[in-house]
Structure 1
């Protein structure tokens, strides 16, 4: 056994079906008396449901969360915090809402209770990505790690099939990069492989029957494991590219991850053979990159950057920005190689 360091993260997790019923008790346990309830505009009804569970007179709702956590939205939410005297945060939704909660917590250190309705996984991490002036910047700070997460399988039953697919691939990406992370360790390796396995098993079943409770439970369990991996070890090329593209072109977050994932795996396979072997084993295939590509196709997720709105004439500009700040990756990161990767991903071209 090689020497390693494992940093466990202290987030309380409640997992099951109909666990949202425990929300009011958890709010009290955190000592929150006037929570700010966060959601996207689309999920305002879920925010209202949360407010009803804890007492509408005590809660304040802000339904302005959007993708990539732009700082101007955070500033608007901060005005509400200051005006109402909110003493805690409750976020219900996906990565956009969790991101806004974290951005507020970074500035206030208010306690957070997160109720995920997708498979984003960011609720399990001390990581925040914020966008300003077309550039997404990622930071790690323990102030943004949520105190409590309530996973309620029943809340994912109405998640549209397409969002289930791309959100699940986003979660898998966390685990894939954890397997070749510079600070990987045996504990996160186990969680990563099992997380990939659970999601790869569940997602095709969800596509066939979105109300399959067992598959939904497996997917949420897998997303939780992958989220822990994201929080415990560093990420590399895949996440750097996705943050670059998302910040530059305002591309949909989960869809960007789903497109880039097979290409990033292919880029790193020779430099990280042990990770590639674990990914392939979790997918029950021989080739990790091709297996991820085939899973993407099987569940109907987008296969090209062109399909999700990236302007092809700006591939070179994206490659330059992606390599502008050096970062660790198993395989060397060069502008020509990244340009080639992005060109393939833009066209959706694939070569084994």
Structure 2
């Protein structure tokens, strides 16, 4: 076994059906007495209905949106100041949890995350923000939520399409965690378990959205995959998705779903050990093709074109992908990356 360094992330989790009922306890656990509830406009009604009666919640900000624009964070900070909130409750997916992280970075307010998707952001000290059309990421312990409530009931109403793309987004975290520069045996074990759990659960959810066992398995898998994302570095897949999402304003989970099989195929020749793990987890000799097929099984978009990316953006994205050097197990070659992006744009199968 090779030498490695392991640095675990602090995690306090309430997991189970109905665990939203412990929100008052969760707020007190992180030291809060005046919590601001955060959500997207679409989830505002649900968030308020499920937290009605929680005396510690003293206000609501429902302006969270994709890619965490800095101007939205600035607006939310004014609500923080006006309400004198001393705690944040983020109800929703990556957009809302991202907003809470952005606020925490600037204020040090403790966070209670209540995820309703499988994005896994709640388990990471990573924040992605968008300003002037460019998305940047940072890593800081200040943005890691102090407590997470995983209530399976909150995912039962998650639309099938969003369930699939959100779950494959989570799988992407673990796939890259397998071959990260700073990976270790603990993270590889969590990654394999998370990938297997989600790959088994997502097609069942696509067929029967209210399957509690499958939903529980998917939420558990998302927790594991999010932990991997928060504990080790990422590579080509995540860098490329951030470039595409920030530059062309593409939906986050859908972009990850489209790009993942292609990014894995690109790196496959350089990561034989990780490919062996993925063969077992996905029960398929060609993991990149298996992930492409999984996308079709959950009725996810197959192409960046479907997500709104213009064809003339392929070259722009390829240029940006090699603009800033970052670690990847295979060297980043502009022409090969352009081919990867072009195949993803067209919805073709990944290159073997």
Number of corresponding residues: 351
Superimposed CA distance per residue, residues 265-288 of structure 1 (whole angstroms, 9 cap, x where no aligned partner):
000000011111111210100111
1:205 alignment partner in structure 2: 204
Other-structure match for 1:341: 340
Q: Indicate the residue corresponding to 1:7 in structure 2.
A: 7
RMSD: 1.0
Task: Tell me which residue corresponds to 1:150.
Answer: 149
How many Å separate the matches in 2 of 1:70 and 1:259?
23
- Answer with 131-140 or 289-298: which moved more: 289-298
Change (3 A) 1:50 1:106: farther
Report matched runs for 1:101-112 at 5 Å.
101-112=100-111
Report what 2:310 is aligned to.
Answer: 311
Shift of 1:50: 4.7
Q: 1:29 maps to which residue?
A: 29
Query: Is the Cα contact below 8 Å between 2:125 and 2:140 reproduced in 1?
Result: yes
Post-superposition shift, 1:51? 4.1
Matched with 1:52 is 52
1:193, CA displacement in angstroms? 0.3
Q: Distance in 2 between matches of 1:53 and 1:107?
A: 29
Gaps of 5+ in 1: none
CA–CA distance in 2 between the matches of 1:138 and 1:272? 25
For 1:141 and 1:196, the matched residues in 2 are separated by 25
- Counterpart-to-counterpart distance in 1, 2:103 and 2:50: 19
- Asked if the contact 2:118–2:219 (Cα under 8 Å) also holds between the matched residues in 1, the reply is yes
- What is the distance in 2 between the residues matched to 1:295 and 1:29? 39
Asked if structure 2 preserves the Cα contact closer than 8 Å seen for 1:269 and 1:276, the reply is yes
Say if 2:187 is the partner of 1:178: no
Offset at 1:60?
A: 0.7
Partner of 1:83: 82
Cα distance change on mapping 1:169 and 1:282 into 2, 3 Å: same
Which deviates the most, 284-293 or 254-263? 284-293
Q: Matches of 1:77 and 1:322 in 2, distance apart?
A: 32
Matches of 1:104 and 1:52, distance apart in 2: 23
Secondary structure, counterpart of 2:52 in structure 1: helix
1:7, CA displacement in angstroms? 0.9
Q: Is the CA contact (8 Å cut-off) linking 2:67 and 2:135 kept in structure 1?
A: yes
CA shift at 1:238, angstroms? Answer: 0.3
Distance 1:344 1:253 in 2: 19
User: Does the 8 Å CA contact 1:46/1:92 hold for their aligned counterparts?
Assistant: no
Distance 1:292 1:239, change over 3 A: same
State the match for 1:291 in structure 2.
290
- The within-5 A match list for 1:212-223 is 212-223=211-222
Query: CA offsets per residue over residues 26-62 of structure 1, 9 Å max, x none?
Result: 1112221111100000000133135414127x42100
Distance 1:210 1:195 in 2: 20
Question: Which blocks of at least 5 consecutive residues in structure 2 are unaligned?
Answer: none
The change in CA–CA distance for 1:169 and 1:161 in structure 2 (over 3 A counts) is same
Q: Following the alignment from structure 2 to structure 1, what is the Cα–Cα distance between the partners of residues 339 and 53? A: 51
Kept in 1: contact 2:58–2:83 (CA 8 A): no
Alpha-carbon deviations, 1:192-219, whole Å to 9, x = none?
0000000000000000100000000000
CA displacement, residues 127-155 of structure 1 (integer Å, 9 cap, x when unaligned): 00000011100000000000000000000
TM norm structure 1: 0.98
1:182-197 counterparts in 2 under 5 A? 182-197=181-196
TM-score of the pair, normalised by structure 2: 0.98
Q: Name the structure 2 match of 1:280.
A: 279
Moved over 4 A (4+): none
